[in-house]
A and B are shown apart, each in its own frame.
Chain A
Amino acid sequence: ELKVEQNPLFLSMQEGKNYTIYCNYSTTSDRLYWYRQDPGKSLESLFVLLSNGAVKQEGRLMASLDTKARLSTLHITAAVHDLSATYFCAVPLYNNNDMRFGAGTRLTVKP
């Protein structure tokens, strides 16, 4: 059974600091997705990582994928309050039909 583990589950950081969120998964997959969820809102797609070594950047967020290590990272650079949200990684089991989500990392950025 595919397991997707994120850590940390809770992250409180100060503005201006850097930090990394980790996503490990248990079976072979060459794709991984990152989503953001604001409180009371829907999930919004952030990154689609499609191959080993893929790196995507958007503003202060950078995501990477190492399919051999079955690991993805979401790096936050110089955090700002607007980044406060819950971040989910998701791995497809067979194809896009069956997506398994990590438990989410609840990020709070404090001034």
Chain B
Amino acid sequence: DTAVSQTPKYLVTQMGNDKSIKCEQNLGHDTMYWYKQDSKKFLKIMFSYNNKELIINETVPNRFSPKSPDKAHLNLHINSLELGDSAVYFCASSQTDTYQPQHFGDGTRLSIL
């Protein structure tokens, strides 16, 4: 029973392409997140959605667009991929108004050729 699942696990593509990463959680949480982890392991929040509403939108290029069809899903679409987009992208979820930690997916390793 995977709590937070992301697909695909690996994504290798060329510069300029458009790609999507999907995330689903079965924990019943009301908030989902996207994080970017660079090659130095630094983890930075990109977006946060609470009950399908965008709460956090950090300084992220407009090429990145999150979509939340329902509170169990948060997808990330990336247009016109650039070399600097190469990273591991993690999806996470949590329940607001609790002190429980965020639960992370296994990550999607994106490599731009």
A contacts, CB < 8 Å to B: 31, 33, 35, 37, 41-45, 48, 50, 86, 88, 95-101, 103-104, 106
Contact = CB atoms under 8 A, between A and B. Distances in A.
Interface string B37-48: 000111111001
Closest 6 CB pairs of A and B: A45-B101, A101-B43, A43-B104, A42-B104, A42-B106, A104-B41
A48 B41 contact: no
B57 to A, nearest CB: 11
Contacts, number: 62
Interface residues of B, number: 28
A35 B41 CA distance: 13
Contacts of B97: 95
23 contacts: A33-B102, A41-B106, A42-B104, A42-B107, A43-B104, A44-B104, A45-B101, A45-B103, A95-B96, A96-B96, A96-B99, A96-B100, A96-B102, A97-B31, A97-B55, A97-B94, A98-B45, A98-B55, A98-B56, A101-B42, A101-B43, A103-B41, A104-B42
